[in-house]
Structure 1
Amino acid sequence: MKLVGKKEQAYTSLDIDSPHVARRSSNLSNVQLSPSSASTISISSERGNVFSRGDDGDRTFYNNVASDILAALDGPVRQLAFETKGALLATGLAAMFYLLAWFQAVLIPFFLAIFLMYLVDPLVEVIDVSPKYFLCVCTSRGRHARRKSRGCSRAFASLVAVSLVCVFFGLLGYITVLSVHALDATAYQTGYNHLVSGVEHILEQIGLPVNITTTLHDNVDKLARIVVTETMDLLSVMFVTLIYLTYFLCTRTRASDAGGVWSKIDHDIQRFVTLKCFLSLFVALLVTIVYVSLNVGLAVVWGILTFILNWIPNVGAMIASVAPICIIAITPSDLMNPMEKFLAMFLPMCFHMFVGNFVEPKVFGRKLEIDPVIVILSLSAWGLLWGVVGMMLSVPLTAAAKIMLSHLKLWPEFVALVEGTYFTRFGIKAGRYKKEEDDQKDFETMEVRTESEKDRANGSHMRA
């Protein structure tokens, strides 16, 4: 809502958000739209008519009319604007969630490729800017600089980086298989039998006779089918993701060459993904060292799982800490004593708490900070839409949206809500903004212009 007028004249109309505003107050006898214009309001006040035409034909305001107008229209206009924005926001969110769920087969590899692009792009940059170590195989040293300007080096560096990513994931799978084969199945089977017998005995004492072994055997086939199906789906998604990733890396320009606000957005997203990757790798290395030192079975597998799950805030750290307890509990006593089992359960939790509560806030800073409530909501929403992949991408997607809106100066309410500063910046009532300073400026401007008009009118009468 703003007053509209020329620089040297009094305000001539009141511009509002909707033509459906009508209200009575103690100072205004009637507020209604003028039939000539949808953005002009004709108002009659108890103190006099709002508009009066002088000898020179200019419209002037009587004193205190500005306060009458703002007092009459402040509540209805803001309430109507809030209700309209709320309805549009709810409709837009519903449509967006429906489209995300419907096109998940296409969008999951797409966003996963963008996520991996920010992880792999530093490697591509290193290969691309080091021609004396990574020369294009189809050129000589003398022609490499000319070929590079046509994109040969960038494409070659992207293919090398994607190949290294494939080799890396292949090594992870190979290490996982070796870790499983290295387990002493007989010893762990004995520990498993002792644990199951103890649990069944406790359940019988409290009146819940349950045969855990029979229940597990009955669900083995179902579990195996689920694992095979999910594995095949994961392989197909990864294949499409690698195709997207190769294309994105080959066609991507450097952030420094983009220029403008998009360069800053790209830099902040790159910084967030890189820092999160290093922190996840740091926690995974600490957990792996502890598990290897304490003879925990599948130590490397738990470290890999920790790196992956650390991208899922709060819930991921909990799963990464609780999942190894199953194998720690059935580890034979000759491999781990009770004190070692306690340390194997306790130390990873301490690592996750220390990094999540102290290191990440310091590293990311206020600019990349996300409120814990928003983290849980985004985790639930993306997990409901896209499953485990959505949970992994929930925080990167939310952080990317926050960074883009912050730089583009769009939806400051959403940015404040993600940061957890909504109520301090925009007031306690949702949708009601703190505009006392703007209103005060409007009052001062109106009073100054009204006084100048009165002085001009008095001067003209005295000259007459």
Structure 2
Amino acid sequence: MEEPAHPAERDIRLQTYCLLTLTILAIGVALWMLRPVLVPFMLALFFVIGLSPLLDLIQRRLSATRPAAIGVTFILGVALVFVFGVMLISTYRSVVGDGDKYMAGVQSMVEAVQDGLEKAGLPIPDEIAEVMEHTEEFMTQRLKSVILWLSTALLDLLVNLGAVLIFMFFLLAGASSEARPTTGLWVEIEDKIRGYIVTKTVISIFTGLAFGLVLGVMGVEMAPQLGVLAFLLNYVPNVGPVIASLLPIPLVLFLMPEASVFYKSLTIAAGCAVQMISGNVIEPKVMGNSFELHPIVILLSLILWGIIWGPVGVLLAVPMTAAVKVLLDKLDRTRPVAALLAGRLEPLEQAIDREAMA
């Protein structure tokens, strides 16, 4: 029978766990405080990881010089960032420009409800009548708030894109095929992230195109912009496709007054079907569980990185959590934690039993 651990050893172990907890909290606070620098840097890093195969192709297969390969790759990256910015500005202008249409749609819907109640001979309660009278004022205030939020977010994003381009140039300058190792921890992390980025991007492109095309055929306004948003939201696992499915509902309800209830329901169902097929059929078969992360861990990582870095943190939550898991899996003491992130409890239980018996 093994003797219990000495009290001094238990105190040292407890102090170690407390220091580890404080270190993790300090890292989280530091990531939050440094987000103006780290957010564009991480975006640039992920762009470079996705574009690095192109740099290798130009430099190796086409026998191009390193400066030429970097220049071509950087120009392509700038073009992608520029297209992304143009699409966001177009979406913002469409939302702002269609404000009057939204108000007219809401007002017509309120009037239709009033007419329906009057025809049915049902009395309208005073509280509901008062709410209907102030609907226009309420919607105007909400619309102004949304426009102000979009303006601030768009300006912040454009500023970040400028910093992203600067970081991209210097990261690409150090990403030659001769300088990069072929084995090691970073190579393993980079391969996982690159595979995720490339596969997720291809699936997101087809999802956005199908979503925008279906809505366009059904006559929904801003269908191209909704396709762009569906492309972006597809990077957010589990939650993104649900949000993308909900986005067309206000447009269908408020900006299609002549359409019947059946047609509106069919339009909403068609958009939801695209997201369901993409998220539940195509993506699992193509990607599988490449990162071996439990769905609960993915959801918690979305919340955590969203709190620390906002929308960009949500977009990058899964690959960053997967990178942390790879790091944890390389150390004996943290390997049970990596197994826990994958949804396996046995290694952690065995480690706890060993600690208790030590």
- Judge same fold: TM > 0.5, yes or no: yes
Q: CA RMSD in A?
A: 3.6
Q: Is the 8 A contact 2:55 2:70 kept in 1?
A: no
Q: Matches of residues 61-460 of structure 1 in structure 2 within 5 Å? A: 68=1, 70=2, 72-73=3-4, 83-129=14-60, 131=62, 145=63, 148=65, 151-169=66-84, 171-173=86-88, 176=91, 190-197=104-111, 205=125, 207-208=127-128, 209-210=130-131, 211-254=134-177, 257-261=180-184, 262-334=186-258, 336-407=259-330, 411-421=334-344, 423-427=345-349, 432-433=352-353
CA distance in 1, matches of 2:272, 2:8: 52
CA distance in 2, matches of 1:433, 1:278: 45
Q: Is the 8 A contact 2:215 2:271 kept in 1?
A: no
Q: Is the 8 A contact 2:212 2:226 kept in 1?
A: yes
CA distance in 1, matches of 2:281, 2:11: 43
Number of residues of Structure 1 aligned to a counterpart in Structure 2: 348
Identify which of structures 1 and 2 has the higher relative contact order when contacts are C-alpha pairs closer than 8 Å and 6+ apart: 2
Listed one character per residue, the Cα deviations across residues 66-114 of structure 1 (whole Å, up to 9, x for unaligned) are xx3x2x2369799767644532332112101111111111111111111
Q: Is the 8 A contact 1:405 1:415 kept in 2?
A: yes
Listed one character per residue, the Cα deviations across residues 406-458 of structure 1 (whole Å, up to 9, x for unaligned) are 3566621221121111x233328xx614699xx9xxxxxxxxxxxxxxxxxxx
Change (3 A) 1:77 1:419: farther
Q: Is the 8 A contact 1:255 1:266 kept in 2?
A: no
Q: What one-letter code is carried by the residue in structure 2 that aligns with 1:311?
A: Y
Listed one character per residue, the Cα deviations across residues 102-128 of structure 1 (whole Å, up to 9, x for unaligned) are 111111111111122223334444444
Gaps of 5+ in 2: 118-122
Q: Is the 8 A contact 1:200 1:212 kept in 2?
A: no
CA distance in 2, matches of 1:195, 1:81: 68
TM-score normalized by the length of structure 1? 0.65
Change (3 A) 1:229 1:91: same
Q: Is the 8 A contact 1:291 1:344 kept in 2?
A: yes
CA distance in 2, matches of 1:355, 1:84: 48
CA distance in 1, matches of 2:95, 2:125: 36
CA distance in 1, matches of 2:297, 2:349: 19
Change (3 A) 1:258 1:113: same
Listed one character per residue, the Cα deviations across residues 265-304 of structure 1 (whole Å, up to 9, x for unaligned) are 2212211221222222232122122112211111111111
Q: What one-letter code is carried by the residue in structure 2 that aligns with 1:353?
A: M
Shift of 1:317: 1.8
Q: Is the 8 A contact 1:426 1:434 kept in 2?
A: no
Gaps of 5+ in 1: 1-67, 132-144, 440-464
CA distance in 1, matches of 2:6, 2:225: 60
CA distance in 2, matches of 1:321, 1:416: 33
Q: Is the 8 A contact 1:374 1:418 kept in 2?
A: yes
Shift of 1:236: 0.8
CA distance in 1, matches of 2:96, 2:83: 20
Identity %: 26
Pick the structure with greater CA Rg: 1
Greater strand content: 1
Shift of 1:162: 2.4
SS of the residue corresponding to residue 260 of structure 1 reads coil
CA distance in 1, matches of 2:348, 2:99: 61
Greater helix content: 2
Q: Which residue of 1 aligns with 2:120?
A: none
Q: Is the 8 A contact 1:268 1:403 kept in 2?
A: no
Change (3 A) 1:331 1:366: closer
